[in-house]
Amino acid sequence: MQSNRTLELGTGLFVLLGFVALFFLATQLPSSGLKLSSEKRGFHVSADFDNIGDLKVGSPVTMAGVSVGEVAAIRLDPKTYQAVVGLRIYPKYNEIPDDSFASIQTQGLLGGKYIGLSPGGSETFLKEGSHIDQTQSAIVLESLINKLFASFANKAGGGDSQSQAQPQSQSPSPSAPAADPKKPEPKK
């Protein structure tokens, strides 16, 4: 009888603990998990971007650093070749001006992408189905670096810059081509 109770108690506690752990992992960890709160509700607006970088479904939408929604869908417009991003804004933020400005920004230097909203001056607000017209695409670090190298090569090489810039910017050790064009500059 005694051992029977230990058995039942032990098994019960173990299974309970296991399910609590599973529940914790499933609901608390993923940002897109089955949250208990009602944050899944909200209204949808859309915005077109030329380049979204590595923005993903579930990335936060913030205004002044406060999370006001999340990215609900991402697809490509087959006509304009732009990325159409669907945003879900939480229902309590229903007074965002409809001429607000959406830009894709990066959390820290190496962090993930998120969408930042800056308020416009309109008297009418974003609502279900609205479209954000003013957008700024993601800044892709690699293309910035490429441009930087191209401009360096332009200054150093003069005429045949395009043919030089391409192989240099793709070379495996970026420090070498970066150092070379820099050195002659102070001499001039």
Shortest Å, Cβ 65 to other proteins: 13
* Residue 32 CB, nearest approach to other proteins (Å): 6
State the nearest-atom distance from the C-beta of 111 to other proteins, in Å. 8
Using CB under 8 A as the binding rule, the residues of this chain from 136 to 155 that contact other proteins are: none
Closest contact distance (angstroms) between CB of 41 and other proteins is 19
Q: Which residues within the stretch 55-84 sit at the binding site for other proteins (CB under 8 A)?
A: 58, 60
On whether the CB atoms of residues 130 and 98 are closer than 8 A, the answer is yes
Angle between the N-to-C axes of helices 161-169 and 141-157, in degrees from 0 to 180, rounded to the nearest 10: 140
Q: What is the end-to-end Cα distance of the chain in Å, rounded?
A: 95
Q: Please tell me what DSSP assigns to residue 185.
A: H
Query: In angstroms, rounded to a whole number, what is the distance separating the alpha carbons of residues 124 and 109?
Result: 35
Tokens of 53: 């970088």
One-letter identity of residue 113: K
Contact 130, 162 (CB under 8 A): no
Going by the DSSP 8-state scheme, the letter that residue 159 receives in this structure is S
Shortest distance, CB of residue 123 to other proteins, whole angstroms? 35
Total interface residues for other proteins by CB under 8 A: 29
Are 100 and 120 contacting, i.e. CB atoms less than 8 angstroms apart?
A: yes
**Residues 99, 121: contact at Cβ < 8 Å?**
yes
Q: Which is nearer to other proteins, 40 or 127 (CB)?
A: 40
Interface with other proteins in residues 19-48 (CB under 8 A): 19, 21-22, 24-26, 28-34
Cβ nearer to other proteins, comparing 32 with 124: 32
Among 65, 78, 108, 158, binds other proteins (CB under 8 A): 108
The region of 45-53, 106-114, 117-125, 136-144 touching other proteins under the rule CB under 8 A is: 106-114
Provide the binding-site residues for other proteins, judged by CB under 8 A.
Answer: 7-8, 10-11, 13-15, 17-19, 21-22, 24-26, 28-34, 58, 60, 108-112
